[in-house]
Amino acid sequence: MLNHITKAVPNLFTIGNLLCGVLSITFNMSGFFQAASILIFISAILDLFDGRIARRLKVNSEFGVELDSLADIVSFGVAPALIFHSLASSSILASLAFFLFPTMGALRLAKFSVQPTIGYFQGLPIPAAGLPLAGMGLFLYSNAWITLILALLMVSPIRVKKL
């Protein structure tokens, strides 16, 4: 029984991450952009701990990794993109940025899922890309160029050291 609870602990953090992402989308749709942004930052804190807890408890699993990726696309891909879209002016560039941000995030996560574990990430991790958009949302600001650059950095060949 205790073993089942121990195995569930990291996944509860991941579910909390996902819940915050979904709530962020809901708050955004109601016009509470700053609250939506804060929820993304809370998602990041939960995301930071789920993997560390799994490694510390020695309960890593493929299920946990995949669940984390699914939560991350919502919390750091779709939710920040929706905040950006809600605050951005209507333009072709803003529409392109809105589409590309979660798309590049999904590609980045898929690539991470099939890549062997190495000492660095290739491309900007999706939380590191989503948090600046959430930060802009705190100040009710949006910038399509920054959003596009962040989207492209996620699928770039740059190496980012793992924490």
User: Kind and range of the H or E element at 101?
Assistant: helix 92-114
What is each CA distance from 157 to 42, 73, 82, 123, 139, in whole angstroms? Answer: 28, 20, 26, 6, 31
Burial track 13-49 (b if 16+ CB lie within 10 A, e otherwise): bbebbbbbbbbbbebbeeeebebbbbbbebbbebbeb
The model's pLDDT over 69-116, given as tens digits with 9 standing for 90+, comes to 999 999 999 999 999 999 998 999 999 999 999 999 999 999 888 877
- pLDDT band, residue 155 (cuts 50/70/90): very high
Q: Contact at 8 Å (CB) between 145 and 90? A: no
User: Which pTM value belongs to this model?
Assistant: 0.93
Q: Contact at 8 Å (CB) between 163 and 51? A: no
The residues facing 160 across adjacent strands are 121
